Amino acid sequence: MKKSRDQRDRIFRKLRTILRKYEPPFVAKSDYGSRYELWSVKNVIIAGRKRKEVFFASLIIQSSYVGFYYMPIYAAKNLKKFFKKELLSTLNGKSCFHIKELNSVLVTQIAASLRQGLKLYRLRGWV
């Protein structure tokens, strides 16, 4: 069953509030009704390639869920060990979590994943 646009909007707004706590050190490069993206804007070298920015996380309202895209998981596959079963059950692919319903457990787990991701980015000098 598809979630109504109102339900997805509520999920998006709640998660955007959590992600906004990471401005700074990250910069919101997209912030409009259905999309929100956080980037580190810093010259870095990753895997021998120069980068002017590094993607951190985003939210996108999709047709039946809110996509929570979390890039730190690409940088360190072991981050999955920090995820609890509730959040892992929403993972679809390598870095996209399909959030169809939001409760306090998922909010807590998403907030924890963001803290771990920031810690990793700081450790690597990406922010």
Q: Which CATH class is domain 5-122?
A: alpha beta
pLDDT tens digits for 43-102?
998 888 999 999 999 999 999 999 999 999 888 877 777 788 898 889 898 889 999 999
- Residue 106 — pLDDT band, cuts 50, 70, 90? very high
On the CB side of 90, CA atoms within 13 Å amount to 24
pTM of the shown model? 0.90
Q: Where are the domains of the chain?
A: 5-122
Calpha distance 7→85 (Å, rounded): 23
For residue 3, pLDDT beyond 80? no
